Every structure is written in C-alpha cells, then in structure tokens.
Amino acid sequence: MTGQLFVCATPIGNLEDVSLRLLRTLREVDLIAAEDTRRTRKLLTAHGIRAQMVSYHQGNEHKQTAYLTQKIRQGTRLALVSDGGMPGISDPGYLLVQACIAEGLPLEVVPGPSAVLSALVLSGLPTARFVFEGFLPKPQGEKRTRLQALAEEGRTLIFFEAPGRVAPTLHAIRDVLGNRRMALARELTKVHEQVIRGTVDEVLEVLEEDLKGEVVLVVDGAATAVASLNDAVEMARKLVDEGMTKSKAAAEAASTVGVPRRSVYEGLLNPT
C-alpha cells in the first residue's frame, strides 16, 4: 500500500493561524518531517497533537529525501513542515516534492500562512504583479549583481533577509535600484509585528541597530518607480516656475515622491 506526502504550511508566528485541515492532517499522518522538531513540537503541543517526528533540514535534506521517499513508498502517510510558512519556499522541501513526483507518489498541499503575501499586502505597494527573490547573496558583489539584474523589473520585488544583514542590503538596494518606495516587515503575526514604510533612505533612518526577528523587504518595481520619477520631475518643474533653484527643486521633489535626486535633476536639465 502506497503512502502519501502532505506538504503543510504552518504558522509564521502566531500559533492560532492554523486551519482545521492542517490540524486534521497532523493528527492523522504516521510521521511528521520537520525542519526543527523542537519548534514543531511547540505547535503540536499548543493544539494537543502527539505525533512521531523526524528531522528534515538543509543539512540532511539529501540523505533524508531518499529515506522518506522509501517510507512513503512503503505506505507511510508523511507530513512535511518547515519552521513556518510553506515548505520549499526558502526552506527545505523541494527535493522531497521532486522525488515524489518523479516516482509517481501521491502528493497533496495543505495551504496556509505566507510571510511573502502578508508582507506584500501590508506594504501598500502594488500587489497585482510581484516577484519573490528569496534571500539575496551574502557577498556584497554578488548581491549587487543580482540587484542589477532586477533593475528594470516592473513588478513589485520581495526579499527575505536576516536581521543582521538588513542595513547593508538596503544600502545596496538604494545604490543599485535607487531610493525607491519600500516596506520592511518583521515579526509578522507575532506580538511585536512591525511594518516600516517609506523610501529606502527613510527606512534606513529609523532602522534599529539591533534589529531582531525574521524580515521581509518589499520594494517598488521599476514600472512604478519610473511613473514616480515622472511625477517628481513635473513637481520640480512647478517649483522652479515658482522661483526655486533647480537643485533645491529636485531635492524637494525627490524627497517627497521617493526617487533619486540626481534623476529628478537630470530630468529638469533634459526635458523630453
């Protein structure tokens, strides 16, 4: 008798963010593969669930994929969970899903909370079209190269980032993409949930030095940024007509709209 894999999205912070389907699945499966068994145990205990668990994390993912695939083939009903959100999205899970599909083993997804979608909606930035980039590379050179490849991306950009690397990443975003509108969301669904909105520079101004908690960065896409630049240039022209110097007009309009001052100034010097 063949078993089945259930890919289960779990709360990203608040343990009450569970569905009846998730609770039923976790109660009925034979085994739970968890990224961190201690963290998953807290979720299970909060909802009165007792279950056998096995670890499945980045360090043992390849080895455990073969073992768990065999278990499913032998009839085990297996639930796969990460520390929070959907397994496989910047978390282990892709290899196991891929292996089950390759072997024709039953596969089911139990949807649930998403840090990506929660941050996007809370950001106030365009939601119709967006692209999720996960974590940017740690080395600054590689990080800037990746950002450069996104410079003309018109959709809203979403990134995950570790607390200790937020400031360097924001500086890289500003240098490569410009002083775009953005939002920084951290500790989503938790007691200390926080969303900082503004331009990249404005977020940097109020950023805490000892920032803690998981962080999601949502950044305006190029299409919106271009439209904002046009608005800023038009605003600067009106300020110049009122007697302000081009330099001051560009600075004021850029600060108000949230675009690079240099771009506004160049727009004043080179009207189309």
264 band by pLDDT with thresholds 50, 70 and 90 = confident
Where exactly are the structural domains of the chain?
Answer: 4-110, 115-219, 225-269
What is the model's pLDDT at position 95? 97
Q: How many CB atoms lie within 10 A of CB 267?
A: 20
Q: CA dihedral in degrees (170, 175, 179, 185; nearest 10)?
A: -10
Q: Using alpha carbons, list the distances in angstroms from residue 151 to 44, 116, 171, 221, 260.
A: 43, 20, 15, 8, 14
Burial 106-124 (b: 16+ CB within 10 A, else e): eeeebebbbbbebbbebbe
Is the pLDDT at 269 greater than 90? The verdict is no
Per the CB < 8 A criterion, the answer to whether 265 and 232 are in contact is no
Average pLDDT, whole number, for the chain? 93
- Given CA atoms 31, 32, 38, 39 in this order, what sign does their dihedral have? negative
Is the pLDDT at 181 greater than 70? The verdict is yes
Is pLDDT larger for residue 213 or for residue 271? 213
Q: Using alpha carbons, list the distances in angstroms from residue 192 to 89, 102, 212, 264.
A: 24, 42, 10, 37
pLDDT tens digit sequence for 223-252: 776 677 788 899 999 999 999 999 999 988
What is the model's pLDDT at position 258? 64
pLDDT tens digit sequence for 30-47: 999 999 999 999 999 999
Residue of 148, 140, 152 lying closest to 220 (CA atoms): 152
Class of domain 4-110: alpha beta
Kindly report the pTM of this predicted structure: 0.82
What CATH code would you report for 115-219? Answer: 3.30.950.10
What is the model's pLDDT at position 232? 86
CA distance 163 to 205: 16
What is the model's pLDDT at position 253? 87
What are the counts of helices (DSSP H) followed by strands (DSSP E) for the chain?
11, 10
Quote the distance between the C-alpha of residue 195 and its chain's center.
13
Contacts of 126 (CB under 8 A, 6+ apart): 155, 156, 220, 221, 224
CA distance 158 to 212: 19
